[in-house]
Amino acid sequence: MLIQRMQDALNAQVLMEAQSSQAYLAMGSWAEIQPGLKGVTQFFFRHSEEERMHMLKLIHYINERGGFAVVPALEKPVLTFVSLKSAFDQLYKHEVKVSESINNLVEIARELKDYATDHFLQWYVLEQMEEEKLARDCNDKLELIGDDKSGLYLFDRDIMTLDQS
């Protein structure tokens, strides 16, 4: 059985994962209307779906442990970006924020001696390490490219392979 404090904290993470999904969905929609960003569009849409799956995993866990997972209302995400670099900067900052939130959940689970939840959350810890690295790698490549259109073309073509390393 989940302690109320842990349930509340997990439900807050459900909200964060849902907001992440919405943010990446908005990024994908923005990218889709930019010329020549089909790979980036697919990247953002896939990440939106991945964040939704992270949310569902939390919802199932809360409910299976005797709690009640609350489906949250969402704020409107940022809809437009001044550049691809700014979109990826936002993505990185968001992933760092999610990592901090997951770490906070682990801290609460350990404080409450909720070892089952601590164990469950280790998957998210590892996932966030991967997500932060991917976001850093994308930002590093975009920094290297600068305003070079041919570099942007290659970035768009190669982003789906970056996502699998």
Averaged pLDDT, groups of 10, the chain, 165 residues long: 97 97 98 96 96 98 98 94 95 97 98 98 97 96 91 91 65
Q: What is the pTM of this model?
A: 0.92
For residues 117-139, one letter each, b for 16 or more C-beta atoms within 10 angstroms of the residue's C-beta and e for the rest, the string is bbebbeebeebbeebeebbebbb
- pLDDT, one tens digit per residue, over 136-145 is 999 999 999 9
